[in-house]
Homo-oligomer: A and B are copies of this chain.
Amino acid sequence: MTSELRAHMPLTDDTAFLLARANARSLAATHAGLADHGLRVRSYSVLALAVAEARLSQRDIAEYLWLDPSQVVSLVDDLQRRGLVTREPDENDRRAKVVVATEAGRRLHRDAARSVAERERETLETLDAAEQQRLRELLLRLAFPV
Number of interface residues of A (CB under 8 A): 60
Q: Is the interface of A mostly helix, strand, loop or mixed?
A: helix
Specify which of B116, B120, B141 is in contact with A126 (CB 8 Å cutoff). B141
Assembled-state Cα–Cα distance A60/B6 (Å): 10
Query: Would you call B143 and A21 a contact (CB within 8 A)?
Result: yes
A95 close to chain B: CB less than 8 A? no
Interface residues of A in 100-146 (CB under 8 A from B): 116, 120, 123-124, 126-127, 131-132, 134-136, 138-146
A36 close to chain B: CB less than 8 A? no
Query: Would you call A10 and B49 a contact (CB within 8 A)?
Result: yes
Q: Which residue of B lies closest to A122 (CB)?
A: B145
Query: Would you call A126 and B142 a contact (CB within 8 A)?
Result: yes
A73 close to chain B: CB less than 8 A? no
Determine the chain B residues whose CB is within 8 A of the CB of A52 once the complex forms: 8, 10-11
Query: Would you call A126 and B139 a contact (CB within 8 A)?
Result: no
Can you list 12 A-B pairs, Cβ within 8 angstroms, ordered by A?
A4-B54, A5-B63, A10-B54, A12-B140, A14-B48, A16-B120, A23-B23, A25-B143, A123-B145, A126-B141, A126-B142, A135-B135
Top 6 closest pairs, chain A to chain B, by CB: A10-B52, A8-B54, A18-B139, A21-B143, A24-B66, A23-B23
